[in-house]
A and B are shown apart, each in its own frame.
Chain A
């Protein structure tokens, strides 16, 4: 037991179900245990968004709204070919074009798999372009039109080379190679043990395997086997990828739509050889990222370089076409699954063979879903990346686990049917999670699971079905997360961190947590975030923001308050320990002696108290650490139920109702959580039924690089959604909060697919489940008879 720790009792368990207390030893600077939400004033309440009014009145400032004096506009020249060598490039005419202030020839590709024997930066001549849209050069001019015109003046002679965009074709030994040499293996951008590479196939990665799957499958009494396919989904952020780069002698300032200001600062400092102290990254309002705005892309480096050369601020915003072809996507997958079980449902062996393509990037895996969610000692997972001449994938909301769950939660249902078991009963047998047990119970009751009938029961052409699926997502924490709380002499309070609001409302929960601690209302807390001049906060990806930044925010508020109270205690004639903050006052326990918060602040010797706190380790320890991040010992479970109707004549699937029961630890702001769950479900439905990147086999071009022909869910496709959030305490941090963004999308597509099966009695093993696919599955599509 380390010195200075103290013992505290924390609530643990699910409120209303299994709430109890646990003893933890915590550090001396930790705020005392926060009681369950029912005993709190602000935390756990649906405080309105701090920037909600600004957003709905158009006052919120997004990156594309940033204008600086003398600002130039940049555009990127991109490869028109899926695979070509640049034989020559002459930028002279563009450089001489009036209005052009700088031209930058890209000499080193980023944002894709990296060859081990990378020769480093190279002149454009001789470079190979690997996909339609691969950036070649960037131009900054006084207007966007002049920049566009100058792009057309860059003379490039290409030698088109054979290319491959089809996943199956790319696996063949004689397929055109995307990378000539082996690439570094990696996992979410971090180095990973090196995997084999043959042709375009990188892998397999066998590291998730355990036990002896072959023996486990041999021991099975029941075997189910199926192949599942998932498509490429693009991020479709409503706000494009954009930045304004302002390079000056005194340092670099970048306004950028990003999920990680501090990460962008570190990447830019390294790329341009600047000290961290001379790079400042800012973001105010954001219109979505979904994983695609996590790192520095080529467009970012180009804008900064152009600003450096032109001695002027440079704005670069991708248009919708560029968004669709070169800002990342959720990779496609093919998953062959064999599942062995005993007649009581116990899993004896699982074998999954998966491959997919993230184009020129790695990351087409199926996540940690199957290996984590159900108990099975004998588990084999082989997953490979297949390179194709297509734009790079990027992490997208629950990467891996979304396609992984689509397949695995369906085959679990197939097993249940083979065993003659209800899907819920089978999961009771194989799922050890007490959280999901409660979620299944609550969800089944809300959706009316007892109404569920055998597959294809409806006699008419419109067939109704009920289905469910579960989710698993690791609870992630950025240990490198800090937050400052300032109390000023006039009683005003500020919370400051570089953490950014991707749109989910972290600023609001910061205000709530600080207000709770200081006995104030959330609107009394000024929220200053999205600026690396403040304490470095966590990224807004991996569903880790609340878990990472709210505990240090509360601890900083707690310590700042202790200072305020110690300073004010003599005036109240009370010991500091006898004083607390409540209802805007500093008072004794009996309330007889008190000062207003403002009066107490006025007693300060200096203009302000400032405390910076960083994220402590989870009180019970982490599951494991990964550099600046860590994984909590327990993951986050969720269960979703879908009620659908399938028109068997037109192939349309109509989602009538979705019930989601989710766990995110302590809920800090139910309305904001509900909003994120809505978003996850809608994005999940859109993935299940509508979205698909379509590439032209002849040119390698995306045929639907817009939001018209790329079908995406809109208002009329929005079903009734009911969200039930567990209050789940674990006594692991000062707020005990975890994430919700990613957990909320994972179960949607398989829940819909299981409901579709229940409706029509035909299993949909490929996405999207659009009319063409449904009608084909029903055997209603005749053979084509027109011209070939």
Chain B
């Protein structure tokens, strides 16, 4: 790991002005060597230190967001929640309002990583962490996402890779919280170096490789995610997040599903079905949502919706096994949401 400076910013604006790069931009190079002059933001530091130890990221300065007060709160806002970016996954998983009203998010946060990591990892960092693709994480593979020419996964070991939207790059988005948050229609509040704020729906903020091959999101250097807002949902909304890994302890999902269903009088008024570990960004299963909306859900509809969720899937040479898993998880998640 390289030597670096440690900076304690005075506040958001100070931190934003000091940041010269995002982690993503600091990793893009033609040569295959990461930039050594970048000043980047650090929250929990889980992914950041991982990248630095592997020699994939060599920033000369880390700007510690944890020293800025007030970023670690969960507050009610307009019937929904406003979540600070340095709220830890453990806090999120245990928070009463999150558990009661946005259970899929509590489940997703609580099933991530390991207990030790959940107590340090922040929600902001979780959303912005880099993908786990083993070619991306290998210094010896100068892949397209790091500024090289190739996605090695297409002709390589792609058992953990995307089954949707893998044009040019087959990563899956690493954040399980993002899967749940997209299902809830979460909006990010982003503060720039001038102090100006912009709002962006998480779904639009997260990018597919066809839009941007090297960044998983639209964050610009000098921008900080200062809040994650979940809009109000009808009290009749029930949500579930299901995750399937090869192991249960401390493993990344091979498939995960978040559903949020607004159920009233036996009718599904609105359905949100989002697949994680399926695509370079959380994948909204629009056809499944359409199949469920306005209908009374029975076992047959469940099956139809689960099949519809995989509409358009294009599995690679070694990951077609994910399809039946997703189909099962969608069915189980909808059933569990109804029974919740």
Contact surface of A with B, Cβ cutoff 8 Å:
80, 145, 461, 647, 649-652, 690, 694, 696-699, 701, 703-704, 708-709, 711-717, 770-772, 775-776, 780-788
Query: Once the chains bind, are B328 and A649 in contact (CB under 8 Å)?
Result: yes
Mostly, the B contact residues are loop
Query: Once the chains bind, are B166 and A787 in contact (CB under 8 Å)?
Result: yes
With A649-B324, A697-B156, A772-B159 in contact, is A786–B251 under 8 Å at CB? no
B275-329 interface (Cβ within 8 A of A):
313-321, 323-325, 327-329
Q: Which of B138, B154, B156 contacts A787 (CB 8 A)?
A: B154
B147-172 interface (Cβ within 8 A of A):
152, 154-157, 159-160, 163, 166
Which chain A positions have C-beta within 8 A of B313?
A: 785
Query: Once the chains bind, are B249 and A650 in contact (CB under 8 Å)?
Result: no
For the complex, give the distance between the alpha carbons of A312 and B153 in Å: 46
Q: Is B248 interfacial (CB 8 A cutoff)?
A: yes
Q: Is B339 interfacial (CB 8 A cutoff)?
A: no
Query: Once the chains bind, are A651 and B249 in contact (CB under 8 Å)?
Result: no
Q: List 5 A-B contacts (CB under 8 A).
A: A651-B324, A697-B157, A703-B138, A715-B249, A788-B154
CB distance from B36 to the nearest CB of A (A): 13
Query: Taking each of A776, A787, A788, which has the highest tally of chain B beta carbons within 10 Å of its own beta carbon?
Result: A787
With A694-B157, A711-B247, A782-B320 in contact, is A650–B314 under 8 Å at CB? no
Which chain B positions have C-beta within 8 A of A708?
A: 132, 250, 252
CB distance from B266 to the nearest CB of A (A): 25
How many inter-chain residue pairs (CB < 8 Å) link A and B? 110
Query: Once the chains bind, are A784 and B315 in contact (CB under 8 Å)?
Result: yes
For the complex, give the distance between the alpha carbons of A713 and B251 in Å: 10
Q: Is B265 interfacial (CB 8 A cutoff)?
A: no
Which chain A positions have C-beta within 8 A of B154?
A: 787-788
With A650-B244, A771-B246 in contact, is A698–B325 under 8 Å at CB? no
Which chain A positions have C-beta within 8 A of B152?
A: 696, 698
Query: Once the chains bind, are A714 and B249 in contact (CB under 8 Å)?
Result: yes
Which chain A positions have C-beta within 8 A of B160?
A: 709
CB distance from B94 to the nearest CB of A (A): 19
| Closest A residue to B244 using CB positions | A650
Supplied contacts A709-B132, A784-B315, 18 more A-B pairs, CB within 8 Å? A145-B3, A461-B328, A649-B324, A690-B246, A696-B152, A699-B141, A701-B138, A711-B246, A713-B247, A717-B248, A771-B244, A771-B254, A772-B321, A775-B325, A782-B315, A785-B315, A787-B316, A788-B317
CB distance from A127 to the nearest CB of B (A): 21
Query: Once the chains bind, are A716 and B249 in contact (CB under 8 Å)?
Result: yes
Q: Which of B140, B252, B254 contacts A699 (CB 8 A)?
A: B140
With A703-B157, A709-B134, A787-B314 in contact, is A714–B247 under 8 Å at CB? yes
CB distance from A646 to the nearest CB of B (A): 13
B207-255 interface (Cβ within 8 A of A):
244, 246-252, 254-255
Which chain A positions have C-beta within 8 A of B250?
A: 708, 714
Which chain B positions have C-beta within 8 A of A697?
A: 156-157
5 smallest A-B Cβ distances: which pairs?
A714-B249, A649-B328, A786-B314, A716-B249, A772-B321
CB distance from A234 to the nearest CB of B (A): 15
For the complex, give the distance between the alpha carbons of A717 and B245 in Å: 12
| Closest A residue to B141 using CB positions | A699
CB distance from B320 to the nearest CB of A (A): 5
With A690-B246, A694-B157, A697-B156 in contact, is A776–B321 under 8 Å at CB? yes
Contact surface of B with A, Cβ cutoff 8 Å:
3, 132, 134-135, 138, 140-141, 152, 154-157, 159-160, 163, 166, 244, 246-252, 254-255, 313-321, 323-325, 327-329
| Closest B residue to A717 using CB positions | B247
Query: Taking each of A80, A649, A697, which has the highest tally of chain B beta carbons within 10 Å of its own beta carbon?
Result: A649
Query: Once the chains bind, are B325 and A786 in contact (CB under 8 Å)?
Result: no
CB distance from B159 to the nearest CB of A (A): 6
| Closest A residue to B166 using CB positions | A786
Which chain B positions have C-beta within 8 A of A712?
A: 247
For the complex, give the distance between the alpha carbons of A785 and B314 in Å: 5
CB distance from A775 to the nearest CB of B (A): 5
Which chain A positions have C-beta within 8 A of B252?
A: 708
Query: Once the chains bind, are B247 and A698 in contact (CB under 8 Å)?
Result: no
For the complex, give the distance between the alpha carbons of A616 and B238 in Å: 72
Q: Which of B135, B246, B324 contacts A781 (CB 8 A)?
A: B324
For the complex, give the distance between the alpha carbons of A461 and B251 in Å: 24
Query: Taking each of A650, A716, A786, which has the highest tally of chain B beta carbons within 10 Å of its own beta carbon?
Result: A786
Which chain A positions have C-beta within 8 A of B316?
A: 784, 786-787
For the complex, give the distance between the alpha carbons of A781 and B317 in Å: 11
For the complex, give the distance between the alpha carbons of A708 and B47 in Å: 13
| Closest B residue to A713 using CB positions | B247
| Closest A residue to B254 using CB positions | A771
Query: Once the chains bind, are A784 and B249 in contact (CB under 8 Å)?
Result: no
Query: Once the chains bind, are A716 and B248 in contact (CB under 8 Å)?
Result: yes
Query: Once the chains bind, are A711 and B155 in contact (CB under 8 Å)?
Result: no
For the complex, give the distance between the alpha carbons of A708 and B140 in Å: 18
Query: Once the chains bind, are A80 and B140 in contact (CB under 8 Å)?
Result: yes
Which chain B positions have C-beta within 8 A of A715?
A: 249
Which chain B positions have C-beta within 8 A of A690?
A: 246-247
Which chain B positions have C-beta within 8 A of A652?
A: 244
For the complex, give the distance between the alpha carbons of A775 and B156 in Å: 21
Query: Once the chains bind, are A698 and B321 in contact (CB under 8 Å)?
Result: no
| Closest A residue to B251 using CB positions | A711
Query: Once the chains bind, are B249 and A717 in contact (CB under 8 Å)?
Result: yes
| Closest A residue to B321 using CB positions | A772
Query: Once the chains bind, are B328 and A781 in contact (CB under 8 Å)?
Result: no
Query: Once the chains bind, are A780 and B324 in contact (CB under 8 Å)?
Result: yes
Which chain A positions have C-beta within 8 A of B244?
A: 650, 652, 771
Q: Which of A703, A704, A771, A776 contacts B325 (CB 8 A)?
A: A771
CB distance from A285 to the nearest CB of B (A): 23
With A650-B328, A650-B329, A771-B246 in contact, is A704–B134 under 8 Å at CB? yes
